[in-house]
């Protein structure tokens, strides 16, 4: 079963993103090594630098395209810029941000790099400015930024024709004698910055999986049947999991899930647990995914959950804004598995993507 319209609606995505529905199963990582070369020239030891770009073989990496796009737009503040020659573009523009306390860089203005995502039906390219924007706790002015690249060491000799020969190369990265900034780096590799950014991109390969056999998206919906109640549902491929057997679907890691946990998490001040709460919430309300998820919600003076009446009480007078998160996580649930959620602000009734 599948309902792409409902999936897009719950994830908050425009209709045109339905074209890219599918799974991400592999990722290609690219980057750059700067080699610190040491060579005896005229009886003297000389050090110079060379640049080499690399592309690693595709590695397993599981995600759902629509969930990834929603995360970019609603959790990472990317904007939808529409179609380009390179694909459908999402952008998070560069910016200078002044850090406030308690940041370790309080009082300094830090540059955040420009990031672009280009989506086609075959894959997603993630491009970014490869700069070190701060070094040893000091923000870089970015007039000639330091390149964010790895360094290795080489010992060089010459053959009979004067051509360089690599006699030894470090296996792991080194701490170089000095680090390259953009102008020198570009001169060494003979490229424009746009070309460097493209050569260092990440590519997430899209597989057009069938939603009748595979999980293509996972989302939570939350609604208010009445002003004093809330209800949530888990949707896979735009269909409520209570309406079909989702356990037959293959996830982005090539496996099938045996179930999931479902809960409401209240965020409204310090936690009230006597034991460990891995979610960092004020309190958690565990639900049975097979049962009706409707609960009562009311304002009060103490944050509490009353199982007998299925009533969640929050305190709107606290400094922290009262929010409830409708949350699901596939088993075995440990805070690290594939999950989905949706926030409801109990004071404004505004919903936001988790």
pLDDT, tens only, 57-111: 999 999 999 999 999 999 999 999 999 999 999 999 999 999 999 999 999 999 9
Region 137-158: what's the mean pLDDT?
97
- Residue pair 9/223 in contact (Cβ under 8 Å)? The answer is no
pLDDT, tens only, 110-123: 999 999 999 999 99
pLDDT given at position 271: 62
**Contacts by 84-92, CB closer than 8 A, 24 or more apart:** 84/118, 86/118, 86/125, 87/118, 87/119, 87/120, 87/125, 88/16, 88/17, 88/20, 88/118, 88/119, 88/120, 89/116, 89/117, 89/118, 89/119, 90/116, 90/117, 90/119, 91/115, 91/116, 91/117, 92/116
Reference 286, options 242, 232, 206, 246; nearest CA is 232
pLDDT given at position 337: 81
pLDDT given at position 274: 44
Residues facing residue 264 across a β-bridge: 285, 326
pLDDT, tens only, 213-251: 999 999 999 999 999 999 999 999 999 999 999 999 999
Per-residue tokens: 3? 């309902």
pLDDT given at position 156: 95
- pLDDT bin (cut points 50, 70, 90) of residue 273 is low
**E strand spans, 159-201:** 164-169
Indicate the pTM of the whole model: 0.92
Reference 323, options 258, 259, 266; nearest CA is 266
**Contacts by 36-45, CB closer than 8 A, 24 or more apart:** 36/151, 36/152, 36/153, 36/154, 36/174, 36/176, 36/177, 37/153, 37/154, 37/155, 37/156, 38/153, 38/154, 38/155, 38/156, 39/155, 39/156, 39/157, 39/158, 39/164, 40/157
Per-residue tokens: 246? 């989702």
pLDDT, tens only, 290-315: 999 999 999 999 999 999 999 999 99
pLDDT, tens only, 178-192: 999 999 999 999 999
């Amino acid at each position: 079963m599948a309902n792409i319209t409902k999936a897009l609606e719950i994830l908050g995505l425009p209709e045109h993103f339905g074209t890219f529905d599918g799974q991400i199963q592999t990722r290609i990582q690219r980057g750059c090594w700067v080699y610190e070369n040491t060579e005896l020239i005229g009886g003297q030891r000389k050090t110079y630098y060379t640049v080499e770009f690399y592309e690693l073989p595709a590695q397993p990496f599981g995600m759902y395209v629509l969930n990834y796009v929603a995360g970019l737009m609603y959790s990472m503040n990317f904007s939808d810029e529409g179609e380009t020659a390179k694909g459908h573009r999402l952008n998070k523009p560069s910016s200078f941000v002044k850090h406030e306390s308690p940041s370790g860089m309080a009082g300094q203005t830090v540059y955040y790099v420009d990031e672009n995502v280009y989506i086609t039906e075959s894959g997603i390219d993630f491009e970014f400015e490869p700069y070190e924007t701060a070094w040893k706790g000091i923000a870089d002015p970015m007039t000639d930024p330091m390149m964010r690249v790895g360094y290795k060491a080489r010992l060089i000799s010459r053959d009979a024709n004067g051509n360089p020969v690599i006699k030894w190369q470090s296996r792991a990265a080194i701490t170089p004698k000095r680090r390259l900034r953009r102008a020198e780096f570009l001169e060494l590799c003979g490229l424009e910055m746009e070309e460097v950014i493209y050569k260092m991109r990440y590519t997430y390969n899209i597989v057009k999986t069938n939603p009748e056999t595979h999980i293509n998206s996972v989302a939570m919906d939350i609604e208010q049947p009445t002003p004093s109640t809330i209800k949530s549902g888990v949707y896979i491929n735009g269909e409520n999991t209570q309406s079909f057997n989702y356990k037959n679907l293959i996830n982005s890691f090539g496996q099938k899930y045996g179930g999931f946990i479902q809960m409401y998490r209240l965020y409204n001040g310090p936690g009230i647990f006597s034991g460990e709460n891995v979610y960092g919430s004020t309190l958690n309300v565990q639900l049975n995914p097979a049962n009706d998820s409707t609960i009562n919600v009311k304002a009060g003076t103490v944050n509490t959950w009353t199982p007998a009446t299925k009533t969640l009480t929050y305190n709107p007078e606290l400094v922290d804004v009262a929010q409830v998160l409708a949350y699901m996580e596939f088993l075995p649930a440990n805070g690290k598995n594939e999950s989905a959620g949706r926030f409801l602000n109990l004071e404004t009734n505004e919903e936001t993507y988790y």
